Amino acid sequence: MTDGGSMKFPTLVRVFLSTTLLFLSCKSRPVESTAPPIDQSTPDRLVESLWAYKSWEDAHEAKHYASKPHPEFSAYTSEVQAQFQKNMNSAIEDSSFRKNNRVLKVNVESPTRAVVVASEKPGSWSKESEETTYLLAIGSDNKWVIRDKTMVCWHCRGTGKAEDLDQRKSDIQANRLNTHPMKICDVCQGKGWNSQYFKG
């Protein structure tokens, strides 16, 4: 009885310790399947939490796609399949392109309206530096939502005017070489900025 009991005790200790270590390792491991919450309590927290959520969503979708078998792959050579896998891995890495986004300031226009001025990278495809964006937020009772997002027009760079290429061509044909005819920007219709959600 005593020998049997003394043999069981170390075994129980080992089981307890291994179970505890497994539990702790699981707790310390990040749960990638859980999306970060969207914080709507203030305009700046709303914007920052949206960036975090979108980055998680991009990475989550890319990892999910890369981890599942795709029947259509059999229609391609091994070289093309390898390129597909490389593109998927790049998509996972590119999902972090928002890491340098930051809120520059918040212009509170009223208790229910604010403009969040932010520095954002347009997308993983962009080789340019961050662009200044203006996010209009409306809210009440500590719950804010995005109404619109605008940024400086890429074509006229905020001037509302662009070179009239047709007139410029006519001037050159008429030997008027030093003219720089301008017209209302066709992209932003002279506003100098564009909505990222609405056209016109």
Range of the domain at 181: 161-193
> Mean pLDDT throughout 183-197?
87
- 131 and 187 in a single domain? The answer is no
In a 10 Å sphere around its CB, with 0-12 CB exposed, 13-18 middle and 19+ buried, how is residue 124 labelled?
Answer: middle
- Which CATH number is 106's domain given? 3.10.450
The model's confidence at residue 67, banded by pLDDT at 50, 70 and 90, is: low
Q: pLDDT above 70 covers what percent of the chain?
A: 64
Q: What is the pLDDT of residue 144?
A: 96
On whether residue 172 sits in a domain, the answer given is: yes
105, pLDDT greater than 80: yes
- 148 and 169 in a single domain? The answer is no
Between the two ends of the chain, the Cα-to-Cα distance in Å is 88
Number of structural domains the chain divides into: 2
Using an 8 Å Cβ cutoff, are 107 and 115 in contact? yes
β strands within 52-130, DSSP E = 102-110, 113-120
Q: Global pTM?
A: 0.62
**Radius of gyration of the chain from Cα atoms?**
28
